[in-house]
Amino acid sequence: MNANAALLAAVLLMTSACRTAHPDAPTVARASAACELPATPEAVITVAKNPYPGELHEVFEVADGPEWWAPAPMDEERTRYRDALAARLGEQGLGHRALLERIHAMHAAMVGKPMQRETENVSRVLDGSAGKVGVISCLEWRLFQWQSRRYPMLEHPTEFGAYVLRGQGRIRIYLSGADRAGGSLRHEVRERVATDVARGFALVAHVHNHNFMFDRKVGDRMWTTPETVKDIGGGVAPSLTDVQAYRAMRESLKLQGAWVTNGLETGRYTSEDFDRMSAWEPTQ
């Protein structure tokens, strides 16, 4: 396959994969250096009560354009990240199916325990009944990269979360992260998002990452238990608690979709998918 044919194939693949994630997105084009977050955020949102170590909430705004929705460029950081994972898992272990099958097997073995239900959403992604998985987009990569530059993802796994809004020819991003293997949806950020939605912006997605977690030990900073000590993470299916949060955001903020990324690939889910998947119920 020559270079032009390879590029066309990649674009067509991304166009198909993003149907659930990028409603009325501009025609997909090759990502370029223009797909960069500003060096300085538009605003920083302060959390008043009990912030986590390293907790940071920044607001970015950029001109909407096809480069954001295109496949992420294979820059030096992406190459280094992928090569490090391949050294650990091998080429066959990097794909989303291999990762999800591994997670499914681990949770299926938790017979009679609440965590066994985590197989439900994994099964739906594997059988294609919910969501689509595709290569990480340039926008998703820049969000992942923002957190990875703060805390190297493989050496010190942490989670970021972001609300992505579109309107008036702009993309507005509320990007949050901390020195923590897990996330928290702060009301100080959510209130700003609600104001933007009321002004006509569309909340097209909430995006967060599912970490790779190696060399785990029971009781470590990655919340490791005896059942999860061999769980390396990296699966792009939403958890039960993720879907619970998505449904609440759909109700309160008109959330249109959700993206779950591992820095290589992203699972993209529509608001209709939220009803096809399982959620953690408060009584459970």
Structural contact between residues 129 and 184, judged by C-beta atoms closer than 8 angstroms: no
> For 50-74, what is each residue's pLDDT tens digit?
999 999 999 999 999 999 999 999 9
How large is the average pLDDT for residues 255-264?
98
State percent of the chain over pLDDT 90.
84
pTM above 0.75, yes or no: yes
Between CA 241 and CA 109 the distance in angstroms is: 20
Q: Strand 257-261 to strand 202-209: parallel, antiparallel, or no bridges (unpaired)?
A: parallel
Which one, of 96, 216, 79, lies nearest residue 157 by Cα?
Answer: 216
How large is the average pLDDT for residues 95-112?
96
Confidence of residue 283 (pLDDT cuts 50, 70, 90): low
Residue whose token pair is 């009679």:
112
Between CA 1 and CA 157 the distance in angstroms is: 37
What are the residue ranges of helices labelled H in the chain?
Answer: 3-17, 76-89, 96-108, 119-126, 138-150, 187-198, 240-253, 273-276
Confidence of residue 11 (pLDDT cuts 50, 70, 90): very low
Residue 34 has pLDDT above 80, yes or no: no
Between CA 120 and CA 127 the distance in angstroms is: 11
Structural contact between residues 277 and 239, judged by C-beta atoms closer than 8 angstroms: no
Residue 17 has pLDDT above 50, yes or no: no
pLDDT for 15: 36
Between CA 84 and CA 35 the distance in angstroms is: 24
pLDDT for 182: 86
pLDDT for 282: 64
Residues 6+ apart with CB under 8 A from 246: 206, 238, 255, 258, 269, 271, 274
Lowest mean pLDDT among 113-117, 236-240, 269-273: 113-117
Residue 155 has pLDDT above 60, yes or no: yes
How large is the average pLDDT for residues 223-231?
93
State percent of the chain over pLDDT 70.
87
Higher-confidence residue of 8 and 134: namely 134
pLDDT for 48: 85
pLDDT for 281: 79
DSSP string covering 188-232: HHHHHHHHHHHTT-EEEEEEEE--B--S--TTSTT---TTTTT--
Task: Give one word for 215, left, alpha or beta, with left for phi > 0 and alpha for psi -120 to 50.
Answer: left
How large is the average pLDDT for residues 25-46?
73
> For 180-225, what is each residue's pLDDT tens digit?
998 889 999 999 999 999 999 999 999 999 999 999 999 999 999 9
* Residue ranges of domains in the chain: 3-276
Structural contact between residues 116 and 108, judged by C-beta atoms closer than 8 angstroms: yes
Higher-confidence residue of 74 and 9: namely 74
Per the prediction, the chain carries an average pLDDT of 89
Structural contact between residues 215 and 229, judged by C-beta atoms closer than 8 angstroms: no
Residue 27 has pLDDT above 60, yes or no: no
